[in-house]
Each structure stands twice: as structure tokens, then as C-alpha cells.
Amino acid sequence: MTEDTQSPKTGEPVPLSRNQDFVRLWLSQTLSAVGARVTYLVYPLLILAIDGSTAAAGAVAGTAALVEIAVRIPAGVLLDRLDRRKVMLWTEAARVSAMIAAFTTAALGWISVPLVFAVAAVDAGGSALFVSAERTVLRHIVTHDQITVASARNEARTFTAELLGPALGGALFGLARALPFLFNAAAYATSFFAVLAIKRPLRGDVPEHHESFVKAFKAGFGFLWRQPFLRAVIVFEPLLNMAFTGTLFVIIVILHDAGIPAYGIGAAMAVTAVGGILGAVAAPWIKRLLSPWLLIVLLSWTSALMAMMCVLLPAGYWVVAPMPVLVFFAPATTATVFGHQTAVTPDHLHGRVVTALGLFMSAMNPVAPLAAGILLEHLESPAVLAVFASVFVVASVIATFSKGIRTIGERVPLEPAAKTI
């Protein structure tokens, strides 16, 4: 940690709002996340406009999720061996190139289903690598006591992207199919320059690498598996994420089939993010009041209950109403998980552990939109929503009775960092 994270007069941590490198890192990931959420909505809408198949629309979302998982497999070792700043810069440069290609072909009327799949793959892979890199460098930007609050700030950023991205993507898509890709090219380019402006080192000393790639890869998973709390997380969290991804995709199709325009679908998706933003604001207080076990149980069962409500509500805008409540506890939960992971992981393993955790947590995401698209070809949308609601219930039962979640004795320190906001 450099001296820039502490005030030279008091020796106290520099408030996050005055930590310029944290602000730059936060801005870069905000722009990157907004861009990712813009195209998350645009890709299936574009496929539906070109091909009209819900299965194909689900397949493009599933492909993007599968690429994210594939990228995370080598990402951990690479982030522990390479210059993390350069990895982030090359990632954003690749995404800018993909967006320029998509914008040009869409503007000229040459866009095709295979091209949409290819651009979605580059975008998703870049997002997975960039997010993993950003989580590994956070400990070099803020003090140890600020990690949990910084993680909560990052969750607020994520849900800000959820709020702005779909609404913006829907509005731009409604004006012209090429405009969302032009916006993303600008967003990723700005993110590139924000990372470039960070001056301090983004990793500790790099040890010599004598182990093979496979052995190095397994070391991250081994460390993760030896942590009881994190081991429990990777059992139930994939189910929660899969159920949420599937539910969100079905809602997009419901709104599309109800004749709601693209900007209306984007606005409806943005409503979900309101709950996440409010949850991120409340995260410090939630974490003071609730143990990690109770917090995770509340998130799980609240998600299950809200998903069941979606089944009962009529098609149209009303089906989105439970979603803000569904995600309210997500920011505090994610901050708990990644704050704990950061606190217990040595820096030379951090890239591998972060990506291993992300890999497990998102392992079932590719299944969700693909399964939803296929099920919607044969079942009514309420029945498909009920399938994903049942997955929420299964995950909730596992979380409730998990020994790893119940026995976690360490809370990541929050009170000292709260004074620095």
C-alpha cells in the first residue's frame, strides 16, 4: 500500500471521495459496467428483430455467459503473473474495436446473427477479465479497513449501471440499432483512459514462477476450497445467480411480447436497479445489524418470495414490480463475500482466488437464458418463471442450513472505514 492512501497530516486513511486513484478506478468500472448493461438488453432485442426466435435470443445471452466463464479459467493465473494495468487496458481496447465493428455493420445494414454472437462474446469476455482485474487491484488503491466500504461503493456502481444501462440501451436501440454500439465504444474508450491515469502500482512484488500453469490454476481453487465460508458460498450462489439471470431474461421476453417498445423495456429493467442502489446505500447499516448468515438467508428467501410474486402478476410492466425488492440485499451480501475474500487472500494468489470465486458464482449463468428461451418455445411465461422461482427456493434452503455460512466468525471491519466516507 502506498502512502497516498493516508493523510500526511493525520495518518488517517484518505476518504474514498478524495482518493483520486479510487475515483479513477470507480469511474472506469462504472463506464465499463454501463456499457455491458446497455448491450445485455440490446443483444437479445437485436436477435429478435433480425431472426424473431426466442431460442436464438436466449442463445446469444447464454453464449455471452459461457464466454465469461471460459475467460475466467486462465484469467486468475494471468492476473497473478502479468501487469494488471496492462491487462485492463488491452481488455478495453479489444472491446472498443468490437463495438466499432458492430456500429459500422449495423449502420450500413450488414448486421447478422453470427456477428452479434461474435461481438457479444468479445464484450462478455472483456467484461469478465476487466472485473476480475479490478477486484484484484482494489487492495492497492485503498487501505485494509476501507476494503468493505469500497466494495459496497463498487456494488452501488454496479446497480447504477443496472439503472442506466438498460434504459439507455433501450432508448438508443429505439432510435437506431447502431447507436448503442457507438455509445459503448465511447464508454470503453473513456474507461481505458481512466485506468491509464492511475499512477500507483496495482500489485505487490511478483514472485518467480516455477510452477506449471495447471498447478498455478489449481492453487487458487485449493485456497478457495479451504475457506469454509467461501466454500459454502460457491455451493448456493451459482443457483441464486442462475435463477436471477433466467428470471430477468423471461421478463424481457414478456415485455417484448406485450408490445412494449425498446425504451419501455429498458426503463422497466432500470426499475430493478433502484432496489440495488437503495441496498448499496443501506449496505453499511445492514452489515452492522445483520450477521453474514442472516444477511445471506434474507437475500435468498426474499429473492424466492419475489420471484413467486412475478409468477402471479399479469404480463406487462407489473411483472417488474417485485424485482427491486428481490435485489435489495444483494449489494451488502456481495460486499461481505468479496470483502472477506480480499481480507483472507494473499496478494500473489489474489487473481486466481478472485477468478475462481467468480467462476463458481457464474458457473450456471449460461444455462439460464438458453433454458429460458427453449422453455418459452413450449410453455407459457408464468410456468417458466415458476421454474426459476423453484431454483431460488432450493438455493435458499441450502443457504439456510449451511454450516460454512453459520459458523463464520469474522466480520470484515466496517466501522473504521465508515468514518472515511
Domain for residue 59, yes or no?
yes
Cell of 308: 413467486
- Is the pLDDT reported for residue 116 higher than 80? yes
Report the pLDDT value the prediction gives residue 123, as an integer from 0 to 100.
Answer: 92
- Give the pLDDT score at 179: 92
CATH no. for residue 153?
1.20.1250.20
- pLDDT value of residue 94: 94
Number of domains into which the chain is organized: 1
Distance of CA 105 to the CA centre of its chain: 28
> pLDDT value at position 95?
93
Whether the pLDDT of residue 150 is over 80: the answer is no
Give the range among 172-181, 266-275, 299-308, 404-413 with minimum mean pLDDT: 404-413
pLDDT in tens, 231-277: 888 888 899 989 998 998 898 888 888 888 877 887 887 788 788 88
pLDDT band at residue 12 using 50, 70 and 90 as cut-offs: low
pLDDT higher than 80, residue 184: yes
First to last CA, the chain: 19
Q: What is the mean pLDDT of residues 93-99?
A: 94
- Choose between 217 and 36: higher pLDDT: 36
Average pLDDT value over all residues in the chain: 81
Residue 4 lies in a domain: no
The domain of 392 spans 17-204+217-418
Return the amino acid letter for 408: I
CA dist list (Å): 10 to 2, 6, 7, 242: 15, 8, 6, 47
User: Domain for residue 291, yes or no?
Assistant: yes
pLDDT-derived band at 148 (thresholds 50, 70, 90) equals low
Amino acid 303: pLDDT: 92
Assess if residue 11 is contained within a domain: no
* Residue 55, in any domain of the structure: yes
Domain membership of residue 8 (yes or no) is: no
* Measured distance CA(14)–CA(8) in Å, rounded: 9
Task: Compute the distance between CA of residue 325 and CA of residue 205 in angstroms, rounded to an integer.
Answer: 43
Answer whether residue 96 shows pLDDT above 90. yes
29 φ/ψ angles, rounded to the nearest 5 degrees: -75, -30
In a domain, 316, yes or no: yes
Residue 367's pLDDT is 81
Q: Does residue 318 fall inside a structural domain?
A: yes
Cα–Cα–Cα angle for 246, 117, 115, rounded to 5 degrees:
150
* Across 61-68, average pLDDT: 82
Query: Can you tell me the distance from the alpha carbon of 352 to that of 358, in angstroms, rounded to the nearest whole number?
Result: 10
What is the structure's pLDDT at 1? 44
Write the pLDDT tens digit of every residue in 340-393.
787 788 877 877 887 788 778 877 877 888 888 888 888 888 999 999 999 999
Q: Please tell me the predicted confidence (pLDDT) of residue 10.
A: 42
DSSP letters spanning 87-127: HHHHHHHHHHHHHHHHHHHHHHT---HHHHHHHHHHHHHHH
Q: Which residue has the higher pLDDT, 412 or 214?
A: 214
Residue 411: partners with Cβ closer than 8 Å, 6 or more residues away: 287, 291, 292
The predicted model scores a pTM of 0.65
Question: Look-up: residue for cell 426503463?
Answer: 267
